[in-house]
Structures are given as structure tokens and as C-alpha cells.
């Protein structure tokens, strides 16, 4: 098992005139995609940035896909609202909310990674609860709507609460075990 903890690494995408034009009202999204970067990887649900941006058709219209995840087929941005959403690869399935904006998404991932480790596999309930409360506070301080039940980050918190994100589990998953 690896002993190195997850770290935050940004990835910047190659500019596309078509995608830049779709984000003309969202300069913070343009900056996140083309200048400051988005998370390259995140241990939760095997999130990883795609090699290139792509347009995908969903129930919300055309989204700009920037990542893949084991939880969903795609993670992208709605160019009309600036929201980060996930798309389940099931015909007719609705998109799900992740964060209110790309900067909030990036900051949430970065701070959740920086808070790691959360607890050991044999941690008592009060330690797990403390980690959950700490992570909820982090997420709430960045983007309160992200914690509405049934959303990406509220599901993350639920997984923390049931003990699924112990140090050992995260590091073993990172090793591909």
C-alpha cells in the first residue's frame, strides 16, 4: 500500500474558440479551464480530468465535459448557469448538481484533499463524526448548495459518515486494489 497521501494537482485545457464562446458570460469558468486549472484527479469515485474538453447533449442542453468519474459518465459545466454537474450514462437520466461554479468545485476538491486523512479504518464513531463535521464545514463555507441531500458532495459526506473513506480505504483504492 502506498504511503503518500493524495495531493491536489491542477490541469489546464487547450483553448477552443467554440467552448470559449459558449462561456462568454462566464469569465471565471474560462479562467478555470484555460488558465488556473481544474483538479486533475480526486480519489472520490475515481474522478479524473479528461484529456480534452467536449460538448455533450443532456437533459439540460449542451454541457462542456471536462472529467469522468465512476459515479457518473461525465462531469461538466452548464454554460448557461455556470454550474458543475454530473451526467449519468443512462438515456433520459437527469443531470445532478455538483457545485455552483468551476472555482467553487476546484476549491472544494482542493480543501477536501488537504483535509485528508480523515480517520483510520478502526476509528471510533466519534472520530468519524468529527471528520464528517469538519468536511461538512469546509464544503458549506465554499458552496452551501453542494450539501443539499442527494447531491455529489452530500453523498461524499454520507460515505464519510459510514466509514467508507478511511485512510486505508482511500490509499488502497489509489493503488488500484
pLDDT (tens digit per residue) in 68-81? 998 668 999 999 99
Given 101, 119, 153, the domain boundary residue is 101
- The total number of structural domains in the chain stands at 2
Let me know whether 84 and 115 are in one domain: no
Alpha helices in 14-123 (DSSP H): 17-22, 27-31, 102-115
pLDDT (tens digit per residue) in 150-163? 999 999 999 999 99
Range of the domain at 133: 106-174
Mean pLDDT (whole number) for 4-13: 96
Amino acid at each position: 500500500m502506498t504511503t503518500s497521501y493524495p495531493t491536489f494537482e491542477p490541469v489546464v485545457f487547450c483553448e477552443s474558440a467554440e467552448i470559449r464562446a459558449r462561456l462568454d458570460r462566464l469569465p471565471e469558468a474560462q479562467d478555470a479551464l484555460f488558465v488556473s486549472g481544474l483538479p486533475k484527479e480526486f480519489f472520490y469515485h475515481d474522478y479524473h480530468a479528461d484529456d480534452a474538453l467536449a460538448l455533450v447533449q443532456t437533459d439540460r442542453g449542451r454541457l462542456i465535459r471536462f472529467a469522468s468519474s465512476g459515479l457518473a459518465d461525465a462531469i461538466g459545466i452548464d454554460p448557461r448557469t455556470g454550474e458543475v454537474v454530473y451526467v449519468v450514462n443512462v438515456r433520459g437520466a437527469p443531470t445532478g448538481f455538483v457545485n455552483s461554479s468551476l472555482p467553487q468545485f476546484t476549491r472544494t476538491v482542493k480543501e477536501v484533499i488537504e483535509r485528508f486523512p480523515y480517520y483510520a479504518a478502526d476509528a471510533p464513531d466519534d472520530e468519524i463524526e468529527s471528520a464528517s463535521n469538519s468536511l461538512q464545514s469546509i464544503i458549506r463555507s465554499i458552496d452551501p448548495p453542494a450539501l443539499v441531500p442527494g447531491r455529489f458532495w452530500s453523498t461524499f459526506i454520507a460515505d464519510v459518515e459510514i466509514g467508507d473513506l478511511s485512510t486505508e480505504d482511500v490509499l488502497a483504492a489509489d493503488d488500484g486494489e
